[in-house]
Chain A
């Protein structure tokens, strides 16, 4: 058991690391020094996090609380800088610091480019700062501190996506991420204002107090199915669509791949993008009150999962495939919490953190070995040259497509089954058919996932190596070593490979955290997280005979997808092109991400810019308002006698006004 105050150290250590590297040492810290300091800080945080987790194992273990200071208070409004670590928070802390530590270590090896020699300290400072912000997000005991983390991770994401800021596209990607997230944040704070307002004299920003208030006075938010609680939850979910890249705000995440690959693994796969799921889990007692909001979440999640998967099937940039895959998997998590499977959703957060971080880092290992080549068409045959990267990547692949026994199988299968059986929507229109439709959509996505991940594997690791000459530096304007050209790729250094091995092991056995009911030792995570979800019990029916047939069906479909990808990319490499030709419209649409970016540009961004410039500035400001003012100024100028020289005339007018004022005063006095 650890003391409550010690909890403060968990975020404080990475902050210290960021300060030391970012403000004190700066350029004096070499890659190894900066990286070691940063890794050490996160490593210590991880140790403390696991201690906290261990302390919360017992069923009656009380959450750890630490109050630092009153942040802002005015009237009845108040917010503290205070932490509260319960089971959910502790689990998130372990994911953040544990995987964070591995990725920090990996980064020491990865960021070895000569061109980055003088700025790598910045990278590690940002990375530490990110861990700090992410910890605030999950540890804050109130909305406002959570929001500090919520926007703080956005800031770090912005800084790290644009780490190579001299490339304008990368800088734009960072900006796009931040502004898109701001749209979500707008929705989030609007929900918060509405919630705060509806609570009246019981208003609070503290999560625990809020839970008590809602339990005691559910009528304040309209009770189950109330309009206010539905609006609040939908607005909060709007915030989640930004941070966690769901329809309609997912568009920033694929662009965010401009950041260095460890960043993609840490921020844009394992941790930050799951904030939305965490937030919904944290507020489970509110969300279960609104079936409409839950149905919206589930539907959005399923649609996003499917849409992203349809884009992933044609992408050629290995990181883009993984990015859309992340959007898709996040969709699965929202589907899970939307149907009431909070623990299942969180379980998928954890297993996905293992296998997706693994695959991103694996792709980083490849990109590192190929000197910033990200196009899969220039890879191939890599299993011969990069045996460890291949072996570990394979584990991640088997996990994500859901091969029985691997971690992803257990978490995905639980989501599919809960979707099929959820009782949550029974009272809604189409409420009985909706779970089946969502299940079908999710299962379809699972098949697409198996297909595009197989495609990635086959294009990257099988066949013959297609790169190595005629290097193009299209995607990444970054520095390259000339000597590398024409050489066969070789395995990455141990610093990169070791984290891969650890994550591969976790991807294989991670399912043990929460085995299904038909296995021994089942439901550990459910049991552990029980206290967090005590007000959000959803009664899923048990003993449905369809469970195993449906599971079998899904597995069959997945096997079929893999086999199909095998025939396309191994047996008959000419066929993909032929297929693309045959389904040209579909292929072009998918390749161009269904033109959603272009649509947003034309429908939203351009009108705002043009309207502001042509109408507000050029007409309202310059002609309407200033027209009146300039007219008045001309009059005033005519009233003055002197002109030309500075001041003269105007000061006289002024003097006249003052004199007039004084005269008025005097008259008033005289009359009185």
Chain B
């Protein structure tokens, strides 16, 4: 299995003194869903936000270690962050639709990237909406304001929006935390399709979702990586006592 992302000894500290990630080393394979799970405050989101350098804007005191994406260290200060973010898409816990039409939301990233051809836009809109399992519901009203969609549709639109840029890696930070079970299963089904083409890294909003969706799972506790193995192994036969306690619901 080819490793898409190799994280080596990553340590991250915020300026208010809280240490968020402590010496994390993790290999994330391509074309699979890797789940980062654990109780709140464990550093899952911080790690996700390192992978597209969104943490640049937070009050980060120090970062050390390496994150290699296709062999290139993305923590390098000289790196083109904008290009990185096009390559590594992200979906957030709360769907944030931009104040444009549905189509406008999808083509915004392309416009920013300098793609002006209408044909490419249309192609990207259809392809990304189909991948995010939203095409059937909205294809006849692409010019409606995106804010008019339901919460679940908005979240899938956000997913489609990052897919429109044809990234390599997709980061999802509790993408279904605000959704009903039907919308959740739509998003999860979309993820199964997605991992055929992309590297998917998911912070699930529950242990059950982690178990359902993971090919690989990493358990985080207070900034430390406790255990990392294939999903089946972690959820049926965890090596570490704390992982077992958390997975079986004894704490968290």
Same complex for A and B? Answer: no
Tell me the A residues contacting B by CB distance below 8 Å.
none
Tell me the B residues contacting A by CB distance below 8 Å.
none
